[in-house]
A and B are shown apart, each in its own frame.
Chain A
Amino acid sequence: MSDNAESPTETQKDEPSTPQQPTEDSGMADDKKKIDVLLKAVGDTPIMKTKKWSVEKGRTVQSLSQFISRFLKMEANEQLFIYVNQSFSPSPDQEVGVLFQCFGSDGKLVLHYCKSQAWG
């Protein structure tokens, strides 16, 4: 995962005006391979020095969670909870690209992370 300071100007559309032709093996043919993720700490969870990351669409929530844990130098037995929309915890095998398509805003996906359960 690379550190990305610039924000792309991809607009989030609800329904594409021209139907996209998916390819059978890869699902949807999208223009970009990476999406912007903004990480926000909840409560007294340590704040990441770098909050904005450019992440590959196919990366899973679990993979991202492990990355944050390592970055924050968390203990092996410490849990990390990830939230979308400050309301639900996505499944660990969920792809960030899908979350971005459904819950992204202003060209990025905002994810809250917490060492304890914040929103149940």
Chain B
Amino acid sequence: MADDKDVLRDVWFGRIPTCFTLYQDEITEREAEPFYLLLPRMSYLTLVTDKVKKHFLKVMKAEDIEEMWFDFEGTSLKWHYPIGLLFDLHASNTALPWSITVHFKNFPERDLLHCPSNSVIEAHFMSSIKEADALKHKSQVINDMQKKDHKQLWMGLQNVVLCSSDKFDQFWAMNRKLMEYPTEEGGFRYIPFRIYLTMSDRPFIQKLFRPISPDGHTHTLGDLLKEVYPVAIPNDDESKHYQVVIHGIEPLLETPLQWLSEHLSHPDNFLHISVIPAPSD
């Protein structure tokens, strides 16, 4: 059961100060001022940037506008990754505000999925939740929910951009069901997680991993990494080469994985973990 409400709230209300600048080669009628916005870590870029689009449309002609997309220092930002993950993965140790470049032309087909409407974001979000529940509960909990319950999860996410306690409660009224498990099991069947690496051509690591070992030993974040990406864990006498980041912090490797899954998952019920190079002092 999810108890540490404070942690859930801190995660839910996480924000990243961002500066949006129009790409220099876009055609404008007047100079485009940068636009500043606090982005919710929990949401998706295309869900929360209508204001950004409106701002730049003011200085552009309609015929010069195609689908909006974003890059950070030359890396196209995938809208279907949570915003907090994008920041941790690409911009963790850079100065704030996060400087994102806005484009309206030359959509990078190879790097990005198209996002023609909010229903595409909703479908992607709900599919992620369903995939997570397939791993946690063999889909039993999500399948027992009604359509309106699914809608409540989506509405909750849409409202994460509002700094409102009601919306947090609206989301968690449903989400807490997805965080339950039979007491005798001690945890979920498998933990929904994805480990993202900056130095890899593979998108992420995702495997079956149990929160409790067959002999009853509680698995930790360190146990997970040892199993699927031991390079991330420094040897005793070595200095740290990598940072393992979730929601902008480095949880202790001794943290139980089940606890992390219940408290530090994104609204899509996945633990999105970034492994990035440690800054060299």
A and B bind: yes
Residues of A near any B CB (own CB < 8 A) = 14-16, 19, 21-22, 24-28, 58, 84-85, 87-93, 95, 98, 101-103, 120
A24 CA to B195 CA, complexed, in Å: 13
A90 CA to B209 CA, complexed, in Å: 19
Partner of B113, one of A14, A16, A92: A92
Q: Is B11 part of the contact surface with A, judged by Cβ < 8 Å? A: no
> Could you list some 21 contacts between A and B, CB below 8 A?
A15-B208, A15-B210, A15-B227, A22-B228, A24-B199, A24-B231, A25-B201, A26-B202, A27-B202, A88-B128, A88-B130, A91-B113, A91-B124, A91-B127, A93-B80, A98-B206, A101-B206, A102-B135, A102-B207, A120-B147, A120-B150
The interface size of chain B toward A, counting residues with CB under 8 Å, comes to 36
CB within 8 Å for A85 and B199 given contacts A15-B209, A101-B206, A103-B134? no
Q: In whole Å, how far is A62's beta carbon from the nearest beta carbon of chain B?
A: 9
Instruction: Report A-chain residues with C-beta under 8 Å of the C-beta of B227.
Output: 15-16, 19
Partner of B127, one of A27, A28, A89, A101: A89
Instruction: Report A-chain residues with C-beta under 8 Å of the C-beta of B80.
Output: 91, 93
Q: In whole Å, how far is B146's beta carbon from the nearest beta carbon of chain A?
A: 12
Q: In whole Å, how far is A61's beta carbon from the nearest beta carbon of chain B?
A: 11
Residues of B near any A CB (own CB < 8 A) = 80, 113, 123-124, 126-128, 130-131, 134-135, 139, 142-143, 147, 150, 190, 197, 199-210, 226-231
Q: Which residue of B lies closest to A101 (CB)?
A: B207
A111 CA to B206 CA, complexed, in Å: 18
Q: Is the CB of B205 within 8 A of A28?
A: yes
Q: In whole Å, how far is A67's beta carbon from the nearest beta carbon of chain B?
A: 18
Q: In whole Å, how far is B195's beta carbon from the nearest beta carbon of chain A?
A: 9
Q: In whole Å, how far is B132's beta carbon from the nearest beta carbon of chain A?
A: 9
Instruction: Report B-chain residues with C-beta under 8 Å of the C-beta of A16.
Output: 227
Q: Which residue of B lies closest to A26 (CB)?
A: B202
Q: Is the CB of B201 within 8 A of A120?
A: no
A17 CA to B197 CA, complexed, in Å: 24
Q: Is the CB of B139 within 8 A of A87?
A: yes
Q: Is the CB of A22 within 8 A of B231?
A: yes
CB within 8 Å for A84 and B201 given contacts A14-B208, A14-B210? no
Q: Rank and list the top 3 A-B pairs by shortest CB-CB distance, nearest first.
A: A88-B130, A27-B202, A88-B131
